[in-house]
């Protein structure tokens, strides 16, 4: 007699947890005790294509805030393309950012519209106005670190946000310097270079904050799938970041990024930067500030 599949209960347990997750409340939780943020430090800016991206890719930002006292500012590039949902999405975004401790700044009332590569090509005058908005935000905040999507992150607004931020950086003076962390969600980066571990408690905070985006997660419960995505990032990061054939780091959850710096008007690689950041290591050790 062949032995029973030893992994059946393991897989069923995953499915059971997902079903249990569907019964959990969406948002409405009391904010946890806020991190002790040092307002004298230059901020971390997250350029979020849509409300909810700040939670999905915000693992390192949350750690910089909670462990190192860096202020984190979520720049709401758009409030979604559905005008009828924009006011509700803004309210949900405010609640999510308040819960997790991120400051929230809009680009313009209602958010920018038509942030896509096609708009960049077809309507350069409107595009340049949007670029100026992002340029002014960068100039006013002088961030230490910025997060924004990589150039092929599938979704049109994610790709557009990459172009928007890059075009804005090019308009700044040559002495403007910051570290850049390109992010991924809808499409994987071919060349990430940093795997950042998140603790279980941090992942729970990201999931809880994401659940405040009620209208979106009712449509697609990606808050419940975030832990699995972050587990898969460990698998991918083991070889995409560590090298083909290398063992994956012994992390439970992680987010992949491409770390570079903006220096003298262009992106510059950091060849000596670490490839992994464990939950036991200080995240500000990645940056020489």
Domain map of the chain by residue range? 37-286
Check residue 80 and give its pLDDT: 86
Of the candidates 261, 244, 116, 245, the one whose C-alpha atom is nearest the C-alpha of residue 179 is 261
Model pLDDT for residues 248-273, shown as the tens digit of each residue: 999 999 999 999 999 999 999 999 99
Query: Which residue blocks in 113-155 are alpha helix, DSSP H?
Result: 117-122, 124-141
Q: What is the pLDDT of residues 167-206, one digit of tens each?
A: 999 999 999 999 999 999 999 999 999 999 999 999 999 9
Interaxial angle between packed helices 222-240 and 8-21, expressed in degrees from 0 to 180 and rounded to the nearest 10 = 130
**What local confidence, expressed as pLDDT, does residue 289 receive?**
75
Pairing of strands 254-263, 194-197: antiparallel
Does residue 40 have a pLDDT over 90? Answer: yes
Instruction: Using pLDDT thresholds of 50, 70 and 90, give the confidence band for residue 223.
Output: very high
Q: Is 26's pLDDT higher than 90?
A: yes
pLDDT at residue 1 in the model: 66
* Neighbour count for residue 52 (Cβ, 10 Å): 24
Q: Are 105 and 151 in contact (CB under 8 A)?
A: no
Identify the CATH number of the domain defined by range 37-286. 3.40.50.10320
């Amino acid at each position: 007699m062949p032995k029973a599949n030893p992994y059946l209960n393991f897989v069923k347990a995953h499915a059971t947890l997902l079903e249990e997750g569907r019964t959990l409340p969406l948002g409405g939780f009391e904010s946890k005790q806020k991190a002790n943020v040092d307002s004298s430090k230059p901020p971390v800016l997250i350029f979020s294509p849509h409300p909810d991206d700040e939670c999905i890719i915000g693992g390192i930002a949350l750690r910089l805030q909670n462990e190192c006292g860096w202020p984190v500012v979520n720049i709401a590039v758009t409030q979604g393309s559905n005008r009828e949902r924009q006011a509700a999405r803004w309210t949900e975004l405010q609640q999510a950012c308040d819960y997790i401790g991120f400051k929230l700044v809009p680009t313009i009332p209602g958010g920018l519209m038509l942030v896509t590569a096609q708009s960049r090509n077809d309507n350069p005058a409107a595009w340049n106005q949007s670029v100026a908005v992002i340029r002014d935000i960068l100039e006013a905040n002088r961030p230490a670190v910025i997060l924004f999507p990589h150039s092929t992150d599938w979704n049109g607004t994610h790709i557009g946000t990459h172009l928007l931020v890059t075009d804005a950086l090019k308009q700044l003076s040559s002495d403007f310097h910051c570290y850049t962390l390109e992010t991924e969600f809808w499409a994987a980066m071919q060349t990430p270079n940093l795997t950042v571990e998140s603790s279980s408690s941090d992942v729970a905070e990201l999931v809880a904050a994401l659940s405040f985006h009620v209208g979106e997660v009712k449509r697609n419960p990606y808050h419940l799938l975030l832990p699995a995505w972050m587990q898969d990032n460990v698998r991918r990061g083991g070889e995409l970041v560590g090298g083909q054939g290398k063992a994956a780091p012994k992390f439970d959850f992680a987010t992949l990024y491409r770390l570079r710096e903006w220096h003298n008007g262009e992106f510059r690689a950091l060849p000596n930067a670490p490839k992994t950041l464990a939950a036991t290591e200080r995240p500000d050790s990645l940056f020489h500030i």
